[in-house]
Structure 1
Amino acid sequence: MKHFPVYLSVSGQRILLAGGGEAALAKLRLLLKTEAQIEVFTTFPDAKIESWADESKLILHRRDIEAEDASGAVLIYAADEDTNKDARTAQIARAADVLINVVDNLADSAFITPAIVDRDPVTIAIGTEGAAPVLARALKAELEERLSPRLGLLARVGKAFRSAADALPMGRRRRDFWSDYYLGAGPRIAEQGEAQLALETLLAQHLQTENRDGHVAFVGAGPGDPELLTLKARKALDEADVVIYDRLVSADILELARREAVMVNVGKEGFGPSTPQSVIDALIVEHAQSGAQVVRLKSGDSTVFGRLDEEIEACDAAGVSWNIVPGITAASASVAAIGQSLTRRGRNGSVRFLTGHDMEGFADHDWRQLARSGEVAAIYMGKKAARFIQGRLLMHGARPDTPVTVIENVSRKNQRVLNTTLHSLPADLADANFPGPALTLLGLSPRIASATQTNPLEQELA
């Protein structure tokens, strides 16, 4: 992020603009929506700029900007559309320590003006750091179409009622009230026009409501791509007071949690440093008993090798309510990544989900059955157990040329695929040096799809 988005207080402040043509008009149409004092410097003002000056919407100086003009300004726009004039304006701004925007010149600008969706006092700024202005405009148009014109009214009514809502204690109960208003009763209130009475009734209902009991949602975060997160998982993250997450949960998904949520890392690493399960159980129960809405966020699907039963039992023993939000497990994402299916008529009618190691070390399975031709298995946590797995399978008659595929960081930007055989698995895996989480598929090789359809937006961004 090269440009940090902020909302600058400009009420009553001076914003200067040098220029009088089309570029100046484009900026002024946006700036005139603010409560700032707008001053324009140009010897050739457009007729529209002159009419705005006649209507006292801005101050027009029929001359070039000078150094003394910059004193006390908060922003300056260089919009003369002339390289030398814009460079002079930028020099004046920098000398006065005032932020400068040079129209259509990202390199010489100290700030950029985003595309803005205006539902005053609700504003949405869309920026692409100058990389894709067409995309920013497309997003703005889509949001303009989706957002109700009454959204601003809804926010203004809520703002006027904030002091009354302070009767609710800070935290969850007050947040629940505003959530009920903005996402439930608020839109109806705006339609009916009885805002004050309806808000007072809604507040009285919340004042009579006791603190909501704590609750735990066991949420599957999927393999890492935030677009593979379910809608129900997104909603749970939006509502969470506390997020207790595993090491393998991607940073992109953690970013989706509510900013005020307490984030607790209880990462575990096979054959490495780990948070004891008893400590994790205690943390889940402790936060829920304090009244928090807890999301226990697990990579993949929480019902697959996630020690979910132990955490549920801890909740049950403490009388804490819970629910499970399933996620996409790594096996499903991995076969999708290599264009395969976990099952195929005539090849295999079943698939095994195995773990490469258990609490005591390398996990033992029915290797004889697994060594049969045509068997397919998805092996979780199998990297460090590769030589052990190879030895057991070969010992029980598996073919050395049995296909094996290892997918690292499946669904993420840094995904890598290793296509090998059972005979070469340990050596090839060592050469590949996969530091990230990886899933091993026994009996499957990558298959290139005969036809690939690409999203037009993805083509544009590529």
Structure 2
Amino acid sequence: MDHFPIFVALKGRKVLLSGGGDAALAKLRLLLKTTADLHVFTPNPAHDITAWAREGRLTLHKRALKTRDAQGATLIYAADEDVDHDSATADIAHGAGVMLNIVDNLHDSAFITPAIVDRDPVTIAIGTEGAAPVLARAIKADLEERLPASLGTLARFGKSFRKIADALPMGRARRDFWREYYFHTGPAAMQLGKDHIDAALNETLDTHLSGKARPAHVSFVGAGPGDPELLTLKARKAIDEADVIIHDRLVTREILELARREAVIVDAGKEGFGPSTAQKEINALIAQHTQNGAQVVRLKAGDPTIFGRLDEEIETCEAYALPYTIIPGITAASAAVASIGQSFTRRGRNGSVRFLTGHDMQGFADHDWSALAKPNAVAAIYMGKKAARFVQGRLLMHGADRLTPVTVIENASRADQRIHAATLETLTDISDIAGPAVIFLGLTPRGAANALAAHPQEEFA
């Protein structure tokens, strides 16, 4: 991020703009939405600029910007659309230590003006650091359609009510009140007319002041394989409402960034054959963070019901009489098999698929390897990198064809996903896998599978 987004206080502050043509008009239409003290400097102002000056919306100076004008200014815009004029404005701004924007000159500007969705006092700024203005406009248009015009009215009433709402305790109690107002009682009151909003606010506050605090709750949420777009709507809602998020090592940064900034984020990662947070510690964290009515999300990579130690954590909730919810996620194997264009089962090939984990080596040895070694058997092995040689040996020992197709999908669904096609014989040759991986026995990427079907005598590699 080269440009840090901030909202600058402009009420009554001096903002200068040099220019009187189309570029100046475009900036002024936006700046006129503010309560800044606007001054425009140009010998040849456009008709609209002259009209705005007559209306008292800005101060027009029919001359070029001078050094003395910059004293006390907060922002300066260079909008003359002329290199020499803009350069002179830049020199004045730099000399006075004032933040400068040169229209259509990102490199020499100290700040940029984003695309804005205006639901005053709700303002959404969209910036692409100059890389894709068309994309910024498209996002703006999409948000304009989604956000009702009444949103600003609700926010203005809410702003005037904030001090009264301070009667509620800080944190969850206040958030619950405002959530109900903005998403339920407020919009309902707007349907009846603005005169009903004050009453809705007071009634909602009375309800929350007299009601019991929201009880603690634990949500076991599947974070999916890594791509935040694969989160379910229910998972997104739980993350957004969480006071505390206790997450696994494989939950991606992009997903954690969806949490509220005020949320407590606890890393309770486990690493196969490496440093880990003991399960007893995780159970203790769940119990600890549910105090005082906290909404806790236990965020697990993939699906919490698959190799996620879910039962032990549910037992903790039961021991402390904590209500809980399980929100399924897309397991890594599902994302991985989709990435190679295959399905787990196929008529005439296999009617079942096995999910195994290579993390528990003791239990791993007890699998029915003779069944897995049969032609057309399909299995997905989680956390199987370190167990690859063991898998290879067991299957060959039980008569598996050494040319059985094997596919290793690293970082399934993520931007750095890689697909490694191999055979049972060459499985252990894949040594450069760094990220989490799923190993498929009996499946190969669709293109390679079609080639193998056309030329069955050729070795797949």
For this structure pair, what is the TM-score category when the shorter chain's length is used for normalisation?
over 0.9
Asked if 1:372 corresponds to 2:371, the answer is no
Once the two structures are superposed, residues 33-73 of structure 1 have per-residue CA deviations (whole angstroms, 9 ceiling, x without a partner) of 10000000111111111111111111111111111111111
In 2, the alpha carbon distance for the partners of 1:362 and 1:121 equals 59
Contact 2:17 2:24 in 1 (8 A): yes
In 2, the alpha carbon distance for the partners of 1:449 and 1:155 equals 57
1:52-63 aligned within 5 A: 52-63=52-63
Q: Secondary structure of 1:296's match?
A: strand
In 2, the alpha carbon distance for the partners of 1:424 and 1:290 equals 55
Q: Which moves more between the two structures, 128-137 or 283-292?
A: 283-292
Partner of 2:210: 208
Once the two structures are superposed, residues 113-158 of structure 1 have per-residue CA deviations (whole angstroms, 9 ceiling, x without a partner) of 0111111101111111111111111111121122111111100111
Q: Which moves more between the two structures, 203-212 or 263-272?
A: 203-212
Contact 1:406 1:439 in 2 (8 A): yes
Partner of 2:412: 410
Deviation of residue 218 (structure 1)?
A: 0.3
Q: Secondary structure of 1:201's match?
A: helix
The letter of the residue matching 1:214 is A
Gaps in structure 2 of 5+ consecutive residues = 450-461
The letter of the residue matching 1:441 is F
In 2, the alpha carbon distance for the partners of 1:302 and 1:125 equals 36
Deviation of residue 359 (structure 1)?
A: 7.1
Asked if 1:70 corresponds to 2:87, the answer is no
Asked if 1:179 corresponds to 2:179, the answer is yes
CA spacing shift, 1:269–1:361, aligned 2, 3 Å: farther
Taking structure 1 as the reference length, the TM-score comes to 0.95
In 1, the alpha carbon distance for the partners of 2:231 and 2:54 equals 55
Partner of 2:446: 447
Task: Find 2:244's aligned residue among 238, 242, 245.
Answer: 242
In 1, the alpha carbon distance for the partners of 2:93 and 2:374 equals 76
1:106-121 aligned within 5 A: 106-121=106-121
Gaps in structure 1 of 5+ consecutive residues = 451-462
Q: Secondary structure of 1:357's match?
A: coil
Q: Secondary structure of 2:345's match?
A: coil
Q: How many residues align?
A: 447
The letter of the residue matching 1:88 is A
In 1, the alpha carbon distance for the partners of 2:332 and 2:52 equals 60
Partner of 1:422: 424
In 2, the alpha carbon distance for the partners of 1:121 and 1:289 equals 35
Deviation of residue 210 (structure 1)?
A: 1.3
Partner of 1:437: 436
The letter of the residue matching 1:440 is I
Contact 1:289 1:320 in 2 (8 A): no
Q: CA RMSD in A?
A: 1.3
Contact 1:20 1:49 in 2 (8 A): yes
Partner of 2:14: 14
Asked if 1:284 corresponds to 2:313, the answer is no
Share of identical aligned residues, percent? 66
In 1, the alpha carbon distance for the partners of 2:435 and 2:287 equals 30
Q: Secondary structure of 1:101's match?
A: strand
1:33-48 aligned within 5 A: 33-48=33-48
1:38-437 aligned within 5 A: 38-192=38-192, 193-358=195-360, 360=362, 363-427=365-429, 429-430=430-431, 433-437=432-436
Q: Secondary structure of 2:316's match?
A: helix
Deviation of residue 13 (structure 1)?
A: 0.4
Once the two structures are superposed, residues 140-186 of structure 1 have per-residue CA deviations (whole angstroms, 9 ceiling, x without a partner) of 11211221111111001111111111111111111100000001101
In 1, the alpha carbon distance for the partners of 2:411 and 2:314 equals 28
Q: Secondary structure of 1:279's match?
A: helix
In 2, the alpha carbon distance for the partners of 1:198 and 1:227 equals 36
Q: Secondary structure of 2:100's match?
A: strand
Q: Secondary structure of 2:139's match?
A: helix
Contact 1:216 1:288 in 2 (8 A): yes
Partner of 2:452: none
Deviation of residue 90 (structure 1)?
A: 1.2
In 2, the alpha carbon distance for the partners of 1:332 and 1:22 equals 53
Deviation of residue 364 (structure 1)?
A: 3.5
In 1, the alpha carbon distance for the partners of 2:124 and 2:345 equals 46
Q: Which moves more between the two structures, 283-292 or 232-241?
A: 283-292
Contact 2:380 2:441 in 1 (8 A): yes
Contact 1:73 1:98 in 2 (8 A): yes
In 1, the alpha carbon distance for the partners of 2:189 and 2:122 equals 17
The letter of the residue matching 1:439 is V
The letter of the residue matching 1:109 is S
In 1, the alpha carbon distance for the partners of 2:320 and 2:310 equals 16
Contact 1:355 1:363 in 2 (8 A): no
The letter of the residue matching 1:147 is L
Deviation of residue 360 (structure 1)?
A: 5.0
CA spacing shift, 1:148–1:212, aligned 2, 3 Å: same
The letter of the residue matching 1:162 is R
